[in-house]
Amino acid sequence: MLRRSKNSTYDDRRFELFPGAFVPLRVYQENRNGYRASIGKKQLIFRLPRGLREADRSKFLLELGRWARETYSKDPGHFEHLLPQSVPAMGVITVMETEFRVKVGEGNGRKSHFATLAEEDDRMVFVELAGMVGPDRLGPIVETLVSRLMGQLFLPKVSQRVAQLNAAHFRQPVSGVTLKLTKSQWGSCSNKGKINLSSRLLLAPKKVMDAVIVHELAHRIEMNHSDRFWKLVHDAMPDYEEQHGWLKVNGRSLSFLPK
């Protein structure tokens, strides 16, 4: 069914990326001369000119589909966040060098999903789903629930580390620290002094998390990426580039899904 946005119409479909594996696809028809494809946060996106003949529309969709499959064959990681993620009934995650066992179960009798630590074992996580969940939704739901629980559990420790690095290198007012499951950025710093960090950093080596914290604390002095900003960063952490490089190479694989 066609839907309307500001300057276009679109419809949502499923696209078979390889045999048996489907990703969400949104096809836009808009005022444009050419056609293009992109990989969005929530779906694969095809953009077509408005008013095409059916034969031309089919031809362009075929070419865009070929682009998507070729892109996947070269680097599957580009589509990792769109593909259904398998989740074992029992698995393990390592958070800030602490290993947790994670058990996923369905039918908790409640109206909502939740995750909690076992009363008798604080290294055992129970994820209880309110009912049957489709394979395309299971991974994101489990990851969100586990990340929230780990964020609550480790926020005091991360806040303490922010305070230590701030006292050692910057000595700036910090109004608070948050941990949230974000995939578009690793950290940010607000004008009011709040340090926001991606909870996925809990899965990275400690020095990598330190590098992101240092980066955001430096913004308390320089709200830009000037030479003065980078001097602050490198004075506080001479091997910053090494840690940042680790994140660029390995960051995409950091997930709260048990294995």
Q: How many CB atoms lie within 10 A of CB 89?
A: 11
pLDDT value, residue 152? 97
**Rounded to whole angstroms, what are the CA distances from 143 to 59, 93, 182, 200?**
38, 11, 11, 10
Mean pLDDT of successive 10-residue stretches along the chain, which has 259 residues: 70 88 90 92 92 92 95 86 80 96 80 90 91 77 96 98 98 97 92 96 98 98 97 98 96 91
pLDDT for the residue numbered 108: 60
* Amino acid 109: pLDDT: 66
Asked if 204 contacts 249 with a C-beta cutoff of 8 angstroms, the reply is no
CATH topology of domain 90-253: Zincin-like (3.30.2010)
The residue ranges of every structural domain in the chain are 3-79, 90-253
What amino acid occupies position 246?
A: W
Q: How far apart are CA 245 and CA 127, in angstroms?
A: 33
Whether this model's pTM surpasses 0.85: no
DSSP 252: G
pLDDT of residue 85: 72
